[in-house]
Structure 1
Amino acid sequence: MKPLEGGRTGQIWRDGDTVVRPSGAWTPTVHRFLRHVRDRSFLAAPEPIDITGKSQEIVSFVAGRVCEDLGDTFVGSERMLVSAARLLRDFHAASQGFLEQDGEIQTWMLPPQEPREIVCHGDYAPYNVATTEHEAVGIIDFDTAHPAPRLWDLAYAVYRWAPLSDPSHPGVLLGLDEQLRRAEIFCTAYGATAKERQQLPEMICGRLQALANFMQARASAGDETFAEHVAAGDAQLYLSDIDYVQQHRDRLLNALL
């Protein structure tokens, strides 16, 4: 086995055509969900294989390049942006029906949000999307999957892919005008309605506030991983980006509508 680069270094390993990664109380539910979307012909998600007695899960390897840096011309291209939005749309379509059809007790890492329309990915960002030839072709890491409105997932995806993050933050290379242009392209490729676009700024802020609250609560409960994230300023960055989105709300709405 060889370790995979990215988050949780040393905890996620590739073994041939499979990936071995940490499991949690939510993993059995997530595996049932992954079978559901694959049964609905959405094959861009991992195939669940096993949950071992060593607090590990085994899923199929999703081929493709994963890269977080939108400044990379490969990842940050408009073609990639459009394909990522369409992949999220197709995933949401395949997600429908699971909550009603599952028939078992469901456990999720993140708290469900009302109305429970579909199961959202919860972290649809460039670092969780596999790409080939300037196209988004796969989605990985479903730990954060949870029931919520589809707009909840779309809001976070737009936040990450535009990205709607203060250019003063480290690693943010795009200015506001380009961020707004990319936000509109993503919404159009996804097929967002006028009503969804109108609600998007508030939904982004609500999603980021929920994320910061979750991180801080887990850190306070003694979770070392989240404690490290909070100590590194990640939660504060999300709170700062809430202010950034609210500050530019009118320009964002003008761009989207």
Structure 2
Amino acid sequence: MKPLEGGRTGQIWRDGETVIRPSGTWTPTVHRFLRHLRSRGFAGAPEPIGITDGNQEVVSYVAGRVCEDLGDRFVGSERILVSAARLLCDFHSASQGFLEKDAEAQTWMLAPQEPCEIICHGDFAPYNVAAADDAAVGIIDFDTAHPAPRLWDLAYAVYRWAPLSDPANPAVAFGLDDQLRRADIFCTAYGATAEERRELPEMICRRLRALADFMLASAAAGDETFAEDIDNGDARLYLGDIDYISSHRERLLEALR
């Protein structure tokens, strides 16, 4: 086995064509959901294999290069951006029907959001998307999957892929003009409606507030991973980006029109 780079260093391993990673109380529900995706013909997600006695989940390895750094010319290309939006749309279509079909008790890491239209990925960011042949082809890490409106997932995806984050942060690869252009490209490729575009700025801010609140509550409850994220300034970054998006709300709406 060899460790996979990224989050939770030393906790996620690749063993041949499988990945071994920590499981949670939500993992059985997520595995049923992943099987549902397969039954709907969506092949861009891991195949669930099982949960070990040591509380490790085993899933198939999703081949491809993880789209980590938007500053990378390959990762930040318009072609990857468009294909990521289309991948998210295909995933949303495949996720439909699970809530009605699944007869077992469901447990999710994140609280469901009304109206529960579909199962959202919850973290459709570049670091959870694999690319091959200049296109986004796969999605990984379904821990944060939960029932919510489509727009809930689309909002966070646009926030991450534009990205709608203050360029004063040295990790942000694009200035405001490029961010607005990329947000529009993503929405167009996804097939966002005019109403969804109008609601997007407020929904992004709602999503980021919910994320920051969840992180702070989890850290306060003793979760070491989220405590480390708080120490690294992640919650502070999200709250700062709420202010950034709010201050440019009218320009974002104009770009999306």
TM-score normalised by the shorter chain: which range applies?
over 0.9
- For 1:168, the equivalent position in structure 2 comes to 168
Deviations 1:54-101 (A, max 9, x none): 010000000000131101011000000000000000000000000111
Q: Would you say how many aligned residue pairs link Structure 1 and Structure 2? A: 257
1:33-72 equivalences under 5 Å are: 33-72=33-72
1:203-222 equivalences under 5 Å are: 203-222=203-222
Determine whether 1:2 maps to 2:2. Answer: yes
1:1-257 equivalences under 5 Å are: 1-257=1-257
Deviations 1:180-212 (A, max 9, x none): 000000000000000000000000000000000
TM-score, length-scaled by structure 1: 0.99
Q: Give the ranges of 4+ consecutive aligned residues of structure 1 lying more than 2 Å apart after TM superposition.
A: none
Gaps of 5+ in 2: none
Equivalent position amino acid for 1:255 in 2: A
Paired with 1:5 and 1:236, the residues of 2 have a C-alpha distance of: 24
Equivalent position amino acid for 1:53 in 2: D
Paired with 1:185 and 1:90, the residues of 2 have a C-alpha distance of: 17
CA deviation after TM superposition for structure 1 residue 47, in Å:
0.2
Gaps of 5+ in 1: none
Equivalent position amino acid for 1:13 in 2: W
TM-score, length-scaled by structure 2: 0.99
What RMSD, in angstroms, separates the aligned Cα atoms of the two structures? 0.5
Paired with 2:155 and 2:173, the residues of 1 have a C-alpha distance of: 20
Equivalent position amino acid for 2:169 in 1: H
